[in-house]
Amino acid sequence: MEVQTILTNTTDTETVKRRLAFQKSFSQEHGGSWRRKSLIEDAKFETAANLEFDKQERKSRGGSISEEEEVFLTSQQNGDVISPIDKDALRRQYTILVSLKDGIASLSRVIRVFETSKVAIDHIESRKAEKVGCKHDVLIQCTGNKDTVTAVMNTIRQNNTIADIWCQNERLVSRQEMWFPRHISDLDNCTHIVTKFEPELDCDHPGFTDKEYRKRRKQIADIAFEYRYGQQIPRVQYADSEVQAWGHVYDRLKKLMPKYACQEYQNSFNLLEKEGLYSQNAIPQLEDVSNLLKRRTGFQLRPVSGLLSARDFLASLAFRVFQCTQYVRHPSKPDHSPEPDCIHELLGHVPMLADPIVAQFSQNLGLASLGASDSDIEKFATLYWFTIEFGICKQKGEHKAYGAGILSSYGELEHALSDKPEKRPFDPDKTAVQSYTDEDLQPLYFVAESFDDMMKKMKDYAAKIKRPYEVRYDPYTNSIVVLNDKAVLKTLADNIAQDTEQMTRAMAAI
């Protein structure tokens, strides 16, 4: 079925920069105490900060903000704590399907109804209509309050060029987080940075008083702000102090790997050295590492300017894309970094992504997150934290690290595999609701019976996430296919049948 995209979300680089700067100032005005609490607190802060930012942006352009948003903005601050969101007061996203009798020509009249009612259209797609007597079906994702959207639908129904108008389950159902990237290029829109631990904000950050470090870090972060899909990843000319920090961590970790790292990690790390990409003397460039991963597992790297929201980060994995920072932790504290930096990404995550089984597992996690609710994203991100970031498994009767947060920090590595922290058996249902801290060395780790056992349990947990549809990745078009249409399901069934026939012939030939 041919789908034509008429309007998609866009990302203005300068607006993104202004939004991030505003979030930082907003944090300072509210004491900064929201930060580093939990994912749900981060989400609440981001909602409040973004609404206030949008309010100021609209006013600067002579626009206005809705009454519901105004009520929300004036009632959310309670001391230093962002109070729980009153969902009934917020505008939400709805999905509406309009069937047109005379084709696209009447679409402008439909759009005019939305504009007049000040209901924001977020996304439009058209396709050939399946219903007899109609020429096109138009899918519209819009944002507004329930009463206004209902009025819009009633007005559209009165238009004699409209054969039918339908909303999910024949009624208005909120789909606040329905949008997700459908093509790998849509990751240009997944740039929601969570300000967790910043040198210009946190007095306990090792770079807080180092103006040169802060300037350098911003310079490198700006490279990621400008990056767009299809471009080569810009190369960074690292300073001697940055290379020295890398070399120091590299040397210490390499000595600890045989004793503490899981076998999957060691195998891939040795490969990266053999390929000439990894050494103590130079920080690998993301473009070079990305090209190797593409050949090995189909994964690729993408530069990012900071810590992404959990939803955006997980969505990237669905396309076999891993978002990487390029700046280096402050040289005064190389043993441990409570924030992502290129040492964490390259020494922690990349070796695991060079393993085909781990790569497929990571993509499956990303696919399971698409379209999931905020609550499920929070639990899923927490599971990711205690596994892919700080996971420990048993191998040959010994505890071994497979989490990137452990493997990229020699301080964390020695701490995690000692008797100091608490260790519990890995149980996804319990782990998903466990609180954690990212300020210092972890006080708690979850231990899987084996790496394979962890992946199986994570797969079973992901299968329980409720969504109104299933999705799959099309590697030929680098796009996500939503399995909610008979034609799409038939194509999938035909592909499975062909694969089954090929496997049968291959087995017969063995």
- For position 420, which CATH number holds? 1.10.800.10
Active-site annotation holds for 183: no
Both tokens of 37, joined, read 């609490």
Of 100-104, 234-238, 325-329, 445-449, minimum mean pLDDT range: 100-104
- For the cut 70, the answer to whether the pLDDT of residue 362 exceeds it is yes
Task: Read off the pLDDT of residues 261-275 as tens digits, 9 standing for 90 and up.
Answer: 999 999 999 999 999
Catalytic site residue from 123, 330, 344, 415: 344
- For the cut 50, the answer to whether the pLDDT of residue 434 exceeds it is yes
Question: Does residue 493 sit within a domain?
Answer: yes
Q: What percent of the chain has pLDDT over 70?
A: 77
Residue that terminates a domain, selected from 105, 137, 170: 170
Active-site annotation holds for 136: no
Residue that terminates a domain, selected from 120, 140, 170: 170
Shared domain for 320 and 401, answered yes or no, is: yes
Shared domain for 387 and 475, answered yes or no, is: no
Catalytic site residue from 408, 409, 412, 415: 408
Residue that terminates a domain, selected from 443, 463, 483: 463
Question: Does residue 32 sit within a domain?
Answer: no
Distance in Å from the first CA to the final CA of the chain: 39
Residue 144: which pLDDT band, with cuts at 50, 70 and 90? confident
Question: Does residue 177 sit within a domain?
Answer: no
What is the pLDDT at residue 422? 96
Active-site annotation holds for 373: no
Residue 250: C-alpha distances to residues 270, 287, 339, 389 (Å): 13, 20, 18, 18
Shared domain for 418 and 302, answered yes or no, is: yes
What is the pLDDT at residue 102? 77
Phi, psi of 372 (to 5 degrees): -75, 160
Question: Does residue 353 sit within a domain?
Answer: yes
Q: Which residue has the higher pLDDT, 484 or 29?
A: 484
Shared domain for 211 and 138, answered yes or no, is: no
Residue 297: which pLDDT band, with cuts at 50, 70 and 90? very high
Shared domain for 99 and 215, answered yes or no, is: no
What is the pLDDT at residue 58? 66
Active-site annotation holds for 415: no
In this structure, the strands spanning 81-82 and 3-7 are unpaired
What is the pLDDT at residue 410? 92
Residue 283: which pLDDT band, with cuts at 50, 70 and 90? very high
| Mean pLDDT across 8-35 | 53
Question: Does residue 143 sit within a domain?
Answer: yes
Q: Which residues 6+ apart lie within 8 Å of 167 measured at CB?
A: 94, 95, 96, 97, 153, 173
Question: Does residue 73 sit within a domain?
Answer: no
Question: Does residue 69 sit within a domain?
Answer: no
- For the cut 60, the answer to whether the pLDDT of residue 7 exceeds it is no
Instruction: Note whether 162 and 106 are within 8 A (CB).
Output: yes
What is the pLDDT at residue 8? 31
Shared domain for 324 and 431, answered yes or no, is: yes
Q: 């099309």: which residue's tokens?
A: 474
DSSP run (H or E) holding 146: helix 146-157
- For the cut 50, the answer to whether the pLDDT of residue 463 exceeds it is yes
- For the cut 80, the answer to whether the pLDDT of residue 425 exceeds it is yes
Task: Read off the pLDDT of residues 213-260 as tens digits, 9 standing for 90 and up.
Answer: 889 988 898 888 889 999 999 999 999 999 999 999 999 999 999 999
Catalytic site residue from 349, 362, 369, 378: 349
- For the cut 60, the answer to whether the pLDDT of residue 83 exceeds it is no
Shared domain for 425 and 303, answered yes or no, is: yes
The one-character DSSP state at 284 is P
Shared domain for 108 and 249, answered yes or no, is: no
| Mean pLDDT across 382-409 | 95
What is the pLDDT at residue 27? 53
Shared domain for 121 and 204, answered yes or no, is: no
- For the cut 80, the answer to whether the pLDDT of residue 11 exceeds it is no
Residue burial 243-274, b: 16+ Cβ < 10 Å; e: rest: bebbbbbbebbbeebeebbbebbeebbebbee
Instruction: Note whether 253 and 410 are within 8 A (CB).
Output: yes
Residue 14: which pLDDT band, with cuts at 50, 70 and 90? low
Q: Which residue has the higher pLDDT, 163 or 496?
A: 496
Most confidently modeled of 14-28, 55-69, 76-90, 395-409?
A: 395-409
Question: Does residue 65 sit within a domain?
Answer: no
- For the cut 80, the answer to whether the pLDDT of residue 343 exceeds it is yes
- For the cut 70, the answer to whether the pLDDT of residue 321 exceeds it is yes
- What is the extent of the structural domain holding 479? 471-509
* d(C-alpha 19, C-alpha 8), whole Å: 20
What is the pLDDT at residue 115? 85
Shared domain for 490 and 406, answered yes or no, is: no
Q: Give the chain's domain count.
A: 3
**Mean pLDDT score of the chain, rounded to an integer?**
81
What is the pLDDT at residue 486? 85
Task: Read off the pLDDT of residues 157-175 as tens digits, 9 standing for 90 and up.
Answer: 777 766 667 664 333 433 3
Residue 178: which pLDDT band, with cuts at 50, 70 and 90? low
Shared domain for 258 and 142, answered yes or no, is: no
Would you call 44 helix, strand, or coil by DSSP?
helix
Shared domain for 311 and 222, answered yes or no, is: yes
Catalytic site residue from 389, 409, 412, 415: 389
Residue 28: C-alpha distances to residues 11, 15, 233 (Å): 26, 20, 33
Question: Could you tell me the sign of the dihedral formed by the alpha carbons of 449, 453, 459, 460, in that order?
Answer: negative
What is the pLDDT at residue 1? 27
CATH number assigned to the domain comprising residue 166: 3.30.70.60
